[in-house]
Structure formats: structure tokens, C-alpha cells
Amino acid sequence: MAGAFPEARHVFEEADDALGFAVSRICFEGPEDRLRLTEITQPALLATSIACERVLRARGVEPRWVAGHSLGEYSALVSAGGLTFVDALRLVHGRGRYMQEAVPVGAGAMAAVLGLSAASVESLCAEEGRGEVLSAANFNSPEQIVIAGTAAAVARAVAAAPARGARRAIPLAVSAPFH
């Protein structure tokens, strides 16, 4: 996208300057394990969202309203003019760093559980936690609930979920459990 649209290229250049490292290079070239670190993932996602938004605006597509969930709230604030892109980048980079520092890479995990009720997911977490941290972390919809906790507890829950009636339980490619 950045190669095809000057507005997108400018967003990534602005991000690189604001952060003091080439988040653009990590986005486009990797390595993937570095991109998965939440302190990198968060500014990378924000930059990508704002690049898309600026490409659309340059072509006359103006939003009537904006909204965001979790990290998306920062994109929405930038899009609405409530926060500068540079300030948002610095905030989400710090946010991601603090989240990453809270749990060492590999110690925690997250998974999306599809097709179980909230009560069933909470029961699954209580039973598969076995004294470790494991809980519902994000209620995306009545049909999709994200769980987070220690890597071992999340793995047990993912393995046990189908027997409880889940359509699927999908481990998420994140470096730390959050939400």
C-alpha cells in the first residue's frame, strides 16, 4: 500500500520519525516475530489504519462518524481529530511496551472461542485454569469470546473447548495476553 499511495507512504515515514525506529520496515519486511511484539504491533496497526484512512480521504471518502475497539479507539481519535497521529503513535508504543513488560514473551497467550455462551466460556476457564490465570478477556460478540491467561492454561482451554460444544478455539498470534 505504501508503495502505491503517497499518502500511505507519508504516514509510515511520519511513524518512523515519531518512533525513532523503522516500524515501516518491520511491517513490510519483518521479521514476523518482532512484528508480533505488542510494543511493535500496536504502532504498526495504528499506522496501517491511518494510512488507509488518509488514502480514502485523499480520494474523497469522508467518514460521517468513527469508532474503534481497544487499539482501534486510537485510530478513531486520530481520524476524528481528537488526537494527533504522532501523539497517538507514542501513546500506543508505550501502551504496548507496558503490556509486554507485564508478561514475558511466551508466558501468556490468548485464543478466540467461537460458539460458546459467556457462561460456558467462564466455566471452561474456571476448570481449565487449574490454579493458573485464565479468564474471558474480550466479549466480541455472543458467538466469539477471547480468553487470556498463561500459555499452558490457554492451550488446555483450546484443547477442551470443542468437547464443550465450541465450533472452534483459535490461538491468537500475540506476544502477551491482554485486554
* Residue numbers annotated as active site: 70, 179
The owner of cell 520496515 is 25
Q: Which of 115, 113, 173, 107 is nearest to 147 (CA)?
A: 113
Q: Are 175 and 31 in contact (CB under 8 A)?
A: no
Hey, what's the cell of 71?
A: 487499539
Neighbour-count burial of 31, counting CB atoms closer than 10 A to its CB (0-12 exposed, 13-18 middle, 19+ buried): exposed
Side-chain half-sphere of 46: how many Cα atoms within 13 Å? 35
Cell of 137: 478477556
* Cell numbers placing 158: 483450546
| Nearest by Cα to 64 from 79, 50, 49 | 79
